[in-house]
């Protein structure tokens, strides 16, 4: 995996790139920063994991990529590019030509993401009709092929059915077929299996990985399950309180974490017995966005925090060319990771 | 679907029977004696007895009801003792007039209600939303007879754009028909349109918050498609429910509006027959309205299956 990073580092086959992405929302506390200076790149042929606890800003980050931020949110600094086009400079109409064509997205709770009033086939074909200008018949034929691609049995019959006739896992396959209909180079999957049964989770994840390899696309996989990351991802960005706190290739991140938060997440994953608290090894909760401290944001919950270094803003430090961490004690800490 | 409709039709039969029976009972209890009403001034007791016999009022109540029901089943609603015409042919001649009034009213209701409701929903929380909401609240307080008078005042008398009263059949040409029908239909449409505006707004706001709307946007659909297709079909269910209620209410409103505009429809018949004690016509009218309301409800129910596929498989 390290080799892959080195190979692609020079050539620019990035399908998505966020630079210093900063998003604010208007709340009763005024404009509040919920995503702060996020740098994130997804290239062709790789799966990048975005992990972090609930409320860390993963969904907001991914919605900015699609130009789908809610009405009360705005990008105040930095930019997102998809296939070289800067999302924030596009009009709503231009955005509709990027969505589904260059970047596609699947979500949590697949059943709720499908419209109960239309057949699943119609909803997939719709994308082809919209972007390719195909006739209903031709689009439906292609939909059957797409259903076969995502391994929905009896595709020809299933396209005519409604979402309520599908299980959660099958709905997520339909969502995948819809997302991949117009051959996008970027697929964003926001906790695609969180709402599914454990066995179904595996199948859907394996399908995503197979399709990613087969189609050579880049995938941004959002999850809070490090087990999923271990199985799926080439590179990982860990988010905490709106910031990326650590970024590395998956192997390095698991074996040599350089941020106490990552290390804590790993320990919690390894020792489920510790699960009396929300996250075994890390006490406390993510503060709400309007209370993000101006110091190191993790400092309050960090067992390694020292007054001198951690009471200031902490930048991302490079550990090695493909590994960086937002920890002030990066040089003097030896953090536990996964040992195997 | 056919089974569904068949089942609903069967269920509707007792309702219609019950309604007609209740009306029969009410008339029996009513203080006005149709024989007295028919007989004119100072009738002799013999004359009254003769009239009672002619009207069948001397027979037992249940016998009369069953007799009437049996004939009604064969499409015979009797002869009006006042006009001496067959009730069914009189009602059938006037039905298209009222139907066309209600139809035009429905079109106005739909255009205004769906239009304003959609705009308000899309601009939720904004000034446009506030204005539409205020207008809807205001219109809700204007009963049809007031609306009719205001409309006549401004659009027929001050600015003679439309005739103040009268009626032309559709056969006389759609232009002329519209000329006469616009004001009556509008007066009938005002409250329903206000109701529908609110309903459409609420249903659309709910639908717009659903996850599938985000999916539709994520696949690059334009806003018109997202709203016009994905939310519209889901928002339609509560809207159609209100429409069904509104049609039924319009039948009542038609009585008032037809009197004001001198339109010879079913509304006028009902007023006439009440005033003249023509129970035979009134009874036929009740049956007709009961059937019409049943049919509308049936259509509403049937449309649920179209809008919500989950109901079909059950
Ligand atoms: N439209 C909004 N208005 C106000 N606050 C918002 C809005 N959207 C998100 N937030 C806040 O921004 C923060 C980040 O939210 P986000 O949904 O990105 O988290 P997440 O990492 O995806 O969490 P989860 O794992 O629960 O999905 C949260 O604190 C959330 O409350
Ligand atoms: Mg999320």
What DSSP line would sit under A278-289, residue for residue?
TBTTB-S-PPPG
Q: Residue A325: enclosing H or E segment and its boundaries? A: strand A323-325
Distance CA(B205)–CA(A114), nearest Å, equals 18
pLDDT recorded at residue A280: 55
pLDDT tens, residue by residue, B296-306: 888 888 888 88
8 A C-beta contact, residue A45 and residue A218:
yes
In degrees and rounded to multiples of 5, residue B42 shows phi and psi of 40, 65
Answer whether residue A46 shows pLDDT above 70: yes
Residue A56 Cα to ligand 1 midpoint, Å, equals: 7
Give the pLDDT band (50/70/90) at residue A281.
low
Distance CA(B217)–CA(A24), nearest Å, equals 22
pLDDT recorded at residue A15: 96
Q: What average pLDDT does the structure give for chain A?
A: 91
pLDDT recorded at residue A272: 63
- For chain B, say whether A177 makes contact (Cβ under 8 Å): no
Chain B interface mutation, best of A117, A136, A179, A195, highest count of B Cβ atoms under 10 Å: A117
pLDDT recorded at residue B136: 93
Most confident stretch, A10-24, A290-304, B50-64, B99-113: B99-113
Instruction: Tell me the two tokens of residue A216.
Output: 């050579």
- For chain B, say whether A156 makes contact (Cβ under 8 Å): no
pLDDT recorded at residue A8: 42
In DSSP terms, A27 is beta-bridged to A30
Asked whether the beta carbons of residue B220 and residue A131 sit closer than 8 angstroms, the reply is yes
Asked whether the beta carbons of residue B307 and residue A162 sit closer than 8 angstroms, the reply is no
Other C-beta atoms lying within 10 Å of the C-beta of residue B278: 23
Task: Compare CB distances from B220 to A112, A117, A130 and report the shortest one's residue.
Answer: A130
In DSSP terms, A33 is beta-bridged to A24
CA pseudo-torsion sign B9, B15, B19, B24: positive
Alpha-carbon dihedral of residues A91, A96, A100, A101, nearest 10 degrees?
-70
Distance CA(B40)–CA(B298), nearest Å, equals 44
Answer whether residue A291 shows pLDDT above 50: yes
pLDDT recorded at residue B70: 87
- For chain B, say whether A38 makes contact (Cβ under 8 Å): no
Q: Which fold would CATH assign to domain B95-264?
A: MetI-like fold (1.10.3720)
Domains of chain A by start residue, with CATH: 14-116+180-332 (3.40.50.300)
Asked whether the beta carbons of residue A116 and residue B218 sit closer than 8 angstroms, the reply is no
Ranking A203-217, A312-326, B49-63, B101-115 by mean pLDDT, the lowest is B49-63
Q: Largest Cα–Cα distance of chain A, in whole Å?
A: 68
8 A C-beta contact, residue A80 and residue A21:
yes
Task: Output the CA angle A77-A79-A84, nearest 5 degrees.
Answer: 165
pLDDT recorded at residue A191: 95
* pLDDT average per 10 residues of sequence, chain B (314 residues): 77 86 82 73 81 80 86 86 88 92 94 95 93 93 91 90 86 88 94 94 95 96 94 93 90 90 92 86 90 88 88 69
Q: How many helices (H) and strands (E) does chain B have?
A: 13, 0
Give which of B62, B58, B81 is closest to B70, Cα–Cα: B62
8 A C-beta contact, residue A121 and residue A140:
yes
- Look up the ipTM and state it: 0.90
In DSSP terms, A38 is beta-bridged to A21
CB within 8 Å of B32: residues ≥ 6 apart: B277
Residue A62 to chain B, least CA–CA distance (Å)? 11
Rg (CA), chain A: 20
Answer whether residue A273 shows pLDDT above 60: no
pLDDT recorded at residue B313: 64
pLDDT recorded at residue B15: 85
Supply the DSSP symbol for A196: S
Distance CA(B75)–CA(B67), nearest Å, equals 13
8 A C-beta contact, residue A289 and residue A242:
yes
- For chain B, say whether A162 makes contact (Cβ under 8 Å): yes
Chain length of chain A: 340
Residue A55 Cα to ligand 1 midpoint, Å, equals: 5
8 A C-beta contact, residue A135 and residue A126:
no
Alpha-carbon dihedral of residues A152, A154, A155, A159, nearest 10 degrees?
-110
Other C-beta atoms lying within 10 Å of the C-beta of residue A230: 17
Supply the DSSP symbol for B154: I
Closest A-chain CA to B236:
A117
- Strand, helix or coil for residue A259: coil
8 A C-beta contact, residue A258 and residue A327:
yes
Question: To the nearest whole percent, how much of chain B has pLDDT over 90?
Answer: 46
**Which ligand 1 atom sits nearest the alpha carbon of residue A52?**
21
Instruction: Tell me the two tokens of residue A63.
Output: 């919605």
Residue B219 to chain A, least CA–CA distance (Å)? 4
Distance CA(A229)–CA(A215), nearest Å, equals 20
**Which ligand 1 atom sits nearest the alpha carbon of residue A242?**
14
Distance CA(A255)–CA(A253), nearest Å, equals 6
Answer whether residue A3 shows pLDDT above 50: no
**Which ligand 1 atom sits nearest the alpha carbon of residue A224?**
25
Answer whether residue A82 shows pLDDT above 90: yes
pLDDT tens, residue by residue, A102-148: 999 999 999 999 999 999 999 999 999 999 999 999 999 999 999 99
Other C-beta atoms lying within 10 Å of the C-beta of residue A120: 27
CA distances from A8 to A13, A19, A221 (A): 7, 18, 19
Task: Compare CB distances from A113 to B215, B233, B308 and report the shortest one's residue.
Answer: B215
Which ligand neighbours the alpha carbon of A58 most closely?
Answer: 1
- For chain B, say whether A310 makes contact (Cβ under 8 Å): no
| Strand spans (E) along A83-183 | 85-86, 103-106
Answer whether residue A214 shows pLDDT above 80: yes
Ranking A105-109, A142-146, A254-258, A334-338 by mean pLDDT, the lowest is A334-338
**Distance of alpha carbon A70 from its chain centroid, rounded?**
17
Instruction: Tell me the two tokens of residue B304.
Output: 């649920």
Binding pocket residue ranges, ligand 1, CB within 6 Å: A 25, 27, 34, 52, 54-60, 70, 72-73, 224, 288-289
Helical ranges in B158-231 per DSSP H? 174-208, 211-218, 223-225
Q: Residue A223: enclosing H or E segment and its boundaries? A: strand A218-223
Distance CA(A202)–CA(A228), nearest Å, equals 9
For B104-116, give one letter per residue: b (16+ CB within 10 A) or e.
bbbebbbebbbeb
Domain boundaries, chain B: 2-73, 95-264
Residue A198 to chain B, least CA–CA distance (Å)? 23
pLDDT recorded at residue A260: 93
Distance CA(A160)–CA(A166), nearest Å, equals 11
8 A C-beta contact, residue A240 and residue A35:
no
Q: Residue A42: enclosing H or E segment and its boundaries? A: strand A30-43
8 A C-beta contact, residue B278 and residue B207:
no
Asked whether the beta carbons of residue A115 and residue B230 sit closer than 8 angstroms, the reply is yes
């Amino acid at each position: 995996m390290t080799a892959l990073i080195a190979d692609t580092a020079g050539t620019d086959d990035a399908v998505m790139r966020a630079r210093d992405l900063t998003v604010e929302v208007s709340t009763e506390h005024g404009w509040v920063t919920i995503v702060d200076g996020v740098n994130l790149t997804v290239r062709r042929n790789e799966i990048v994991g975005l992990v972090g606890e609930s409320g860390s800003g993963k969904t907001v980050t991914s919605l900015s990529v699609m130009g789908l931020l809610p009405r009360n949110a705005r990008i105040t600094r930095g930019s997102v590019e998809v296939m070289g086009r800067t999302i924030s400079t596009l009009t709503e109409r231009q955005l509709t030509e990027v969505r589904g064509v260059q970047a596609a997205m699947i979500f949590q709770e697949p059943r709720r993401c499908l419209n109960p009033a239309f057949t699943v086939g119609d909803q997939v074909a719709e994308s082809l009709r919209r972007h390719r200008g195909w006739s209903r018949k031709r689009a439906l034929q292609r939909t059957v092929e797409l259903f076969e691609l995502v391994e929905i049995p009896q595709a020809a019959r299933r396209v005519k059915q409604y979402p309520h006739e599908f299980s959660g896992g099958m709905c997520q396959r339909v969502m995948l077929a819809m997302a991949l209909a117009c051959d996008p180079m970027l697929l964003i999957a926001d906790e695609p299996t969180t709402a599914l049964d454990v066995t179904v989770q595996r199948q859907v994840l394996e399908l995503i990985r197979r399709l990613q390899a087969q189609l050579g696309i880049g995938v941004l996989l959002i999850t809070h399950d490090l087990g999923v990351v271990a199985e799926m991802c080439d590179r990982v960005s860990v988010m905490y309180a709106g910031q990326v706190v650590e970024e590395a290739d998956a192997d390095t991140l698991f074996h040599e974490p350089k941020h106490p938060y990552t290390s804590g997440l790993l320990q919690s994953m390894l020792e489920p017995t510790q699960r009396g608290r929300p996250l075994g090894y890390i006490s406390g909760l993510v503060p709400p966005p309007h209370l993000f401290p101006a110091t190191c944001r993790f400092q309050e919950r960090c067992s390694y925090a020292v007054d001198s270094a951690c009471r200031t803003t902490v930048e991302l430090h490079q550990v090695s060319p493909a590994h960086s961490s937002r920890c002030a004690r990066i040089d003097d800490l030896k953090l536990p990771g996964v040992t195997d | 679907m056919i089974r569904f409709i068949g089942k609903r039709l069967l269920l509707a039969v007792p309702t219609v029977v019950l309604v007609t029976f209740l009306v029969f009972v009410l008339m029996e209890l009513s203080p006005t004696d149709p024989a007295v009403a028919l007989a004119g001034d100072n009738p002799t007791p013999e004359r009254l007895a003769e009239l009672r016999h002619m009207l069948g009022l001397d027979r037992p109540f249940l016998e009369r009801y069953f007799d009437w029901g049996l004939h009604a089943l064969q499409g015979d609603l009797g002869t009006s003792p006042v006009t001496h015409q067959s009730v069914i042919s009189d009602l059938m001649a006037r039905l298209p007039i009222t139907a066309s009034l209600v139809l035009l009213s429905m079109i106005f209701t739909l255009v205004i209600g769906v239009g304003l409701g959609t705009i308000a929903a899309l601009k939720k929380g904004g000034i446009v939303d506030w204005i539409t909401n205020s207008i809807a609240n205001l219109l809700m307080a204007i009963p049809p007879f007031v609306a009719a008078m205001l409309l006549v005042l401004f659009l027929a008398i001050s600015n003679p754009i439309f005739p103040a009263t009268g009626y032309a059949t559709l056969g006389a040409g759609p232009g002329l028909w519209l000329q006469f029908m616009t004001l009556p239909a509008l007066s009938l449409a005002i409250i329903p349109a206000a109701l529908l505006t609110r309903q459409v707004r609420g249903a659309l706001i709910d639908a717009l918050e659903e996850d599938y709307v985000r999916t539709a946007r994520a696949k690059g659909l334009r806003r018109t498609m997202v709203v016009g297709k994905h939310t519209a079909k889901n928002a339609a269910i509560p809207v159609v429910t209100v429409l069904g209620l509104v049609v039924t209410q319009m039948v009542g409103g038609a009585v008032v509006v037809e009197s004001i505009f001198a339109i010879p429809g079913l509304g006028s018949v009902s007023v006439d027959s009440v005033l003249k004690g023509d129970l035979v016509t009134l009874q036929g009218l009740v049956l007709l309205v009961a059937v019409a309301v049943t049919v509308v409800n049936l259509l509403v129910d049937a449309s649920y299956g179209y809008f919500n596929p989950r109901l079909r498989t059950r």
